[in-house]
């Protein structure tokens, strides 16, 4: 019975991912997410509103610029939830670096931190059948969905105004795809997703500068065992 339920969940996840891929080609590729965020921030500032933001963090380097930028306009809770990370020692190191960054980075408004439960079996179950996908393919979309769904669920439970992810800062990540998934999860749980493309406005460049300034640990692969193996074969 349990195996049947897991199979049905995987099938449903694959259907969601396929639908997201179709929708991206129709709409999100033509949107300027940075301008949309700028307009939202300007609107809140005119009204004197400081919204709460539940920010999914993938690692400290990617979080550095995002926190420097958004902490001027939002009260942020950083949520480190990445069951895809391999091995466990890598997970621990990345978690500690995010916590250290939050302690050391100056912020206009306080930044709090929540560490999600590390359950890699959830990741392996979700991506079953996609182990051989190239990085950036459907396996990655499933992984994004896994993490953003949990972020959306907790953002709703915590009555946050918005939730989003640091993942769009990476030049290797498709912001349109991530934002489409975020919007889908926001609709599912009834919480607003903050569309982003943090690599814009030299965001990625600034993240590398902050990483050097704070001597942050910069990993050389995305996080999962499959991306690690792919990177090793390219060396």
List, in sequence order, every residue forming a beta bridge with 160; answer none if it has no partner.
Answer: none
Full pLDDT tens readout for the chain, 235 residues:
555 555 555 555 556 555 555 555 456 778 999 999 999 999 999 999 999 999 999 999 999 999 999 999 999 999 999 999 999 999 999 999 999 999 999 999 999 999 999 999 999 999 999 999 999 999 999 999 999 999 999 999 999 999 999 999 999 999 999 999 999 999 999 999 999 999 999 999 999 999 999 999 999 899 999 999 988 887 6
Dist. CA 170–CA 174, nearest whole Å: 8
**Domain 34-234, architecture per CATH:** 3-Layer(aba) Sandwich (3.40)
Question: C-alpha 37: how far from its chain's center?
Answer: 16
Secondary structure element (H or E) that encloses residue 30, with its range: none
Q: Helix (H, G, I), strand (E, B), or coil: what is residue 109? A: coil
Burial zone of 81 (CB within 10 Å; 0-12 exposed, 13-18 middle, 19+ buried): buried
Tokens of 128: 């079953």
pLDDT the model gives residue 165: 98
Q: By the 8 A CB rule, do 78 and 55 touch?
A: yes
Note the pTM of the prediction, 2 decimals: 0.90
- Report the 10 Å Cβ neighbour count for 192: 20
CB 58, CB 167: distance < 8 Å: yes
**Which pLDDT belongs to residue 20?**
54
Q: Are 72 and 108 in contact (CB under 8 A)?
A: yes
State whether residue 114 is helix, strand or coil.
strand
Give the residue from 114, 181, 191, 182 showing the smallest Cα distance to 156.
191
Please report, for the chain, the start and end positions of each structural domain, with discontinuous segments joined by +.
Answer: 34-234
Contacts of 224 (CB under 8 A, 6+ apart): 84, 85, 86, 123, 143
């Amino acid at each position: 019975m349990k195996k049947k339920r897991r199979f049905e969940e995987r099938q449903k996840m694959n259907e969601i991912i396929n639908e997201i891929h179709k929708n991206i080609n129709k709409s999100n590729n033509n949107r300027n997410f940075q301008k949309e965020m700028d307009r939202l921030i300007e609107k809140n500032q005119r009204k004197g509103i400081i919204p709460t933001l539940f920010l999914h963090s993938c690692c400290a380097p990617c979080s550095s610029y995002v926190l420097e930028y958004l902490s001027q306009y939002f009260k942020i809770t950083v949520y480190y939830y990445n069951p895809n990370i391999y091995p466990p020692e890598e997970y621990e190191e990345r978690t500690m670096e995010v916590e250290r960054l939050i302690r050391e980075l100056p912020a206009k408004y306080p930044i709090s931190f929540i560490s999600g439960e590390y359950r890699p079996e959830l990741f392996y179950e979700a991506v079953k059948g996609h182990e051989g996908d190239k990085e950036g393919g459907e396996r990655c979309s499933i992984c994004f969905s896994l993490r953003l769904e949990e972020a959306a669920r907790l953002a709703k439970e915590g009555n946050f105004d918005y939730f989003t992810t640091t993942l769009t800062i990476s030049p290797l990540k498709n912001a349109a795809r991530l934002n489409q998934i975020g919007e889908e999860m926001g609709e599912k749980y009834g919480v607003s997703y903050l569309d982003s493309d943090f690599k814009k406005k030299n965001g990625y460049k600034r993240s590398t500068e902050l990483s050097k300034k704070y001597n942050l640990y910069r990993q050389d692969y995305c996080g999962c065992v499959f991306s690690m193996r792919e990177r090793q074969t390219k060396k």
